[in-house]
Amino acid sequence: MQTVEEALLKLQRSSFRSSFHLKEKDKEYIKEKGMDTIRSHAEAFVEKRLAPAVILNDGKQTPMKSHPVFIAQHACACCCRGCLYKWYKVKPGKELSKEQQKKIVNLLMAWIEGEMKSENSG
């Protein structure tokens, strides 16, 4: 099992995944809400949109904009079960465990924290 740091490095080598960045309005939203609230949003999105064994609109359930966590999900290849399988070998058709959900949220939050420190994005 790769670490968050290893996953982030691997994602940076993908021109598609590394093209995602938080815009200034996303950063302002995060500052306004606080990281704890953003983490709770990430937990809820992962639980509802990614964790079920069967997702009717899989591949289309994560918007490309409108919430910082959605941007992070695309940047981290945690946007759909297809990407989870391709990048992390998480098999589709089986509900994600609480531990798997926690690891995904930790990866998303690490990416968001990195974006918040970056002056070049937005």
Euclidean distance between CA atoms 106 and 2, whole angstroms: 13
Domain extent for 91: 4-52+60-117
Tell me the C-alpha distance between 94 and 81, whole Å: 10
Q: pLDDT tens digits for 62-101?
A: 999 899 999 999 999 999 999 999 999 999 899 999 999 9
- Flag whether 36 is in a domain: yes
Domain membership flag for residue 122: no
Number of domains observed in the structure of the chain: 1
Determine, yes or no, domain membership for 12: yes
The answer as to whether 105 is a domain residue is: yes
Q: Which two tokens stand for residue 78?
A: 């945690």
The pTM assigned to this predicted structure is 0.94
Q: Which stretches of the chain are DSSP H helices?
A: 4-12, 24-33, 35-49, 68-75, 81-88, 98-117
Decide if 122 contacts 24 (C-beta within 8 A): yes
Residue 121 — left, alpha, or beta (φ > 0 → left; ψ -120 to 50 → alpha)? beta
Which residues, in sequence order, are CB contacts of 87 under 8 Å at separation 6+?
A: 7, 10, 11, 77
**Over 50: is that where the pLDDT of 121 sits?**
no
pLDDT-derived band at 2 (thresholds 50, 70, 90) equals: confident
Cβ burial 21-30 (10 Å sphere, 16+ → b, else e): ebeeebbeeb
Burial class of residue 38 in the structure, from the number of CB atoms within 10 Å of its CB (0-12 exposed, 13-18 middle, 19+ buried): buried
Cβ-contact 111, 8 below 8 angstroms: yes
